[in-house]
Amino acid sequence: MDSESALDDSYFDHCPWDFGPRASAAQRDAQTAHQKRLTDAGARIGPHCFVSPVAGVFTDTLRLGENSYIAGHAYVTGEVTTGSDCTVNPYATVRGRIALGDGVRIGAHSSLLGFNHGFGPDRPVHRQPLTSRGITVGDDVWIGSNVVVLDGVTIGDHCVVGAGAVVTKDLPPWSVAAGNPARRLRDRRESGPVRRGTAEGGGGVGDQVARFADRARSQAAGLLARAWDADAGRYRDRPGVPLTVRAHCDAVEIADLLLGSPPPQLSAAEHTERLRALQDPAEGMVPELADDGGPGVLPARAADGWIDDGAAEYHVLSVGYALELLGSRFAHPVRPVERTTAGGLVARLESLPWRTRAWSAGAWVDCWATGAHHNLGLGAAAGEPGTLEALFGWLGTRVDPWTGMWGGSAPPAEGRLQLVNGHYRLTRGSFAQFGLQLPYPARVVDTVLDHGGDPRWFAAGRRNACNVLDVAHPLWLAGRQSGHRAAEARAWAGEQLAHALGEWRDGTGFGFGPPGEGGSGPGREPGLQGTEMWLAIVWLLADLVGVADRLGYRPRGVHRPGAARSPAPGLPGHPVLVDNTL
């Protein structure tokens, strides 16, 4: 008997890495037949993969990258996508909405649980509704044996999660984490544990951000109560101003960041019901509230079928993400996105005021792409087939290779304000949200650092949340692709972080800042919008400095730093004209 025939099928169920070099011809034929049964049911399995016949694979969606395997007795259900060279070892459980990058190792008996259900007292546990925010794991990640990863978690590139850990919160790239709940122990690139007293380890600025987070967390319930109008059953940004849709969404985001729960004024189900009820069922967009706090009315469609209303466009972001944080979604698709044709999208893009009002143009892209994200989450259309690809194709061929941005000259009095702020809105909803790489990241860093030194917008007494956010996010996003001028980016972030931490007002939170361009923004008075935005900005700045893990939160809503969705089927791993070397 030769060595091949000596290895029975159960050997490969438990040691699938040996299947390629050691399986017999008959075993290869059997594996091919097994994979065909899966692909006939809709799975996509790359070359040189192995799926054990004794694994429980009952997926709605399965995308298995090349050189990947699912070992014996693994339990795999839901919507599971992997990159190349991924391994699901024996007895591992991978369930729900799970997206793995390249080179992910999931140890034996580990569980990635990309779903959850309620446990309220109103009904038995087995009748509770299911929710799913999904789990995202980056490239080159090792998840040890007996690890549990809970729904909603993102594990960054190059992380190592120690055996037996329970991962309840996001882990930044290069983390070595362990424990229950899992805590970041050090940066994998360092040779030993992080030492206290360094910026990365938590001394100095690390201790400052930790103290700030504790302070904000202890005051969060009071901030939300201050903005709540019990008679109307809605939120204001702050006392004395009108009730708004955005204020309710900001309250949901602040509670998620600081309390890890819905705002205490209502139950999660009640918050969800009130936000879902605001959506216009015919158009799928959310108008601003009427003066009495009741639902508003949308304007008529434009000639191309779009609803041109600034508040309703922003509510595609704010309401959609608030519902996701509550474990829900819109009740209806965003209809103007659903009915978009590729030609119509390109015509609208061509008509936007890129050269004079790049912020407005970028905001429209942000709204449309976020509507596409929400529609895909509902199983609805993001335009006719090929429309989402048309968006990235158009953007990829219109980007300026000298600035890494979209748009042209603006009035000299504004400098690069329109250009940079438009870049943030555009890339937030498109490249960042769909997990795609930026074109020309080094040029982006050059442009935003140049703008970030402009005293008209960043001198003492002149900063506002939009302007700082619109530099911090591009620096963070481009920094994931390129180390270009990284020390300067950290220095800028450190300066802005020190300023931001000093602006917190006990009992009232953050003010947005001085009135922005054209007098926009809520101004200096502390309120929900300023608090939500600056909490997200503080995270971005702290992560650029290397101490974000000390905050104990990571934005997951409108101002989340990275992907809200893996690239949609058919989208490439990155658009054309990506340049990581400039």
The residues annotated as belonging to the active site are 117
Examine residue 299 and say whether the peptide bond preceding it is cis (omega within 30 degrees of 0).
no
Distance of CA 128 to the CA centre of its chain: 26
Selection from 395, 393, 386, 301 nearest residue 341 by Cα: 386
Structural contact between residues 473 and 539, judged by C-beta atoms closer than 8 angstroms: no
Q: Collapsing DSSP states into helix, strand and coil, what is residue 178?
A: strand
Measure the CA–CA gap between 135 and 113, rounded to whole angstroms.
8
Q: Which helix (H) or strand (E) segment is 435 a member of?
A: none
Mapping DSSP onto H, E and C, the string for 199-242 reads CCCCCCHHHHHHHHHHHHHHHHHHHHHHHEECCCCEEECCCCCC
Q: How far is CA 35 from CA 41, 43, 62, in A?
A: 10, 9, 11
Amino acid of residue 414: E
Q: How far is CA 59 from CA 62, 79, 570, in A?
A: 6, 6, 20
Q: What crossing angle do the helices spanning 441-452 and 417-427 adopt, rounded to 10°?
A: 130
In degrees and rounded to multiples of 5, residue 95 shows phi and psi of: -135, 145
Structural contact between residues 315 and 296, judged by C-beta atoms closer than 8 angstroms: no
Per-residue burial over 345-375, b if 16 or more Cβ lie within 10 Å, else e, is: beebbeebebeebbbbbbbbbbbbbbbbbbb
Token code pair at residue 182: 């899992």
Measure the CA–CA gap between 387 and 382, rounded to whole angstroms.
7
Structural contact between residues 439 and 481, judged by C-beta atoms closer than 8 angstroms: no
Q: Is the dihedral of CA 462, 483, 561, 353 positive or negative?
A: positive
Q: Collapsing DSSP states into helix, strand and coil, what is residue 122?
A: coil
Amino acid of residue 568: A
Structural contact between residues 158 and 121, judged by C-beta atoms closer than 8 angstroms: no
